[in-house]
A = this chain, B = another copy of it.
Amino acid sequence: MIDVCLLGTGGMMPLPDRWLTSMVARYNGSSLLIDCGEGTQIAMKENGISCKPIDVMCFTHYHADHISGLPGMLLSMGNADRTEPVTMIGPKGLERVVNALRVIAPDIPFEVKFIELNNDFESFKINGYLLEAFKVKHGVPCYGYTMKVERKGKFNLENAMALGIDKCYWNKLQNGIEVEVDGKLYTPEMVLGEERKGLKLTYCTDTRPTASITENAKDADLFICEGMYGGNDKDDKAKENKHMTMNEAANIAKAANVKEMWLTHYSPSLPKPQEYKAEIRKIFPNTKVAKDGRSVTLVFED
């Protein structure tokens, strides 16, 4: 299962009642943070989530509202005695930007590893899940991210017993590892049913609508997407500022056949994004016009 918390829903600048957009996803003891604007560490505290276990930080891009909280976050993780390395992933320039910001956070007791994205699509197997980065369309290089947890087929106890495989090898086979016992080879396929539906979470802000978003969000259990502006009269403004309207986001959610969409990254000029809920739900019914701190636990089917 994945515990998801949308820490903030604001774009451009933090407001007294709206943190900047960022998300934390916790899976199997690992914490993935996407973006870290000014105040993100406070939003985490408000939601009772510790910053210490963050082992992966992804950045969509380097506009200040998506990374200005990083120095403070690193220091707080250090003050919490984190010593394990942290992997940062983001568009080209990551190391230069992070190291510049670290002028005020030079001493932290853990290593920072950098993975810079250069292609339209890149994927990583990390901490037991699959992390995919896909390029979107903003004024600067910008990426969306998908977190996928795969689910193996059901363990077929009868097959394992019939084949006479000793219990001590079951775990290996369950985890996809072949086993040889007394010259006999046992493969996972012998004891596992068909792969089952896993979990998929796609996150994407600061972009015009693109085919890559629809492709990458395909059939996601949860799609967190920017809805910078409400109403069709904001189409031109969205185009000009390389952002999306809520309607555009809803059309992507529909085309991608996602289970549920959460809107986020509202313009500071939009004090009540909820006002557009009914209109957006006409396009994609399972839309949540999210507020700060919206959380869910994504669990496997059945």
Contact = CB atoms under 8 A, between A and B. Distances in A.
A75 B71 contact: no
Contacts of A16: 42, 45-46
Interface string A78-102: 0100000000000000001100110
Interface residues of A, number: 31
A65 interface: yes
Interface in A59-85: 62-65, 67-69, 71-72, 75-76, 79
Nearest to A268: B79
A76 B13 contact: yes
A38 interface: yes
B39 A104 contact: no
A14 interface: yes
B68 A104 contact: yes
Copies of this chain assembled into the complex: 2
B62 A104 contact: yes
A contact face: mostly helix, strand, loop, or mixed: helix
A138 to B, nearest CB: 15
A165 interface: no
Nearest to A103: B100
Q: Which of A42, A65, A105 has the largest number of chain B CB atoms within 10 A?
A: A42
A8 to B, nearest CB: 11
Contacts of A247: none
A15 interface: yes
Given A64-B104, A104-B101, A72 B13 contact: yes
A103 B104 contact: no
Contacts of A216: none
A41 interface: yes
Contacts of A76: 13
Contacts of A105: 64
Nearest to A44: B16
A12 interface: yes
Interface string A1-25: 0000000000011111000000000
A75 B15 CA distance: 14
Contacts of A72: 13-14, 37-38, 64-65, 68
- The 8 A-B pairs of least Cβ separation, nearest first, read A100-B103, A64-B104, A38-B72, A16-B46, A100-B100, A64-B71, A68-B72, A14-B42
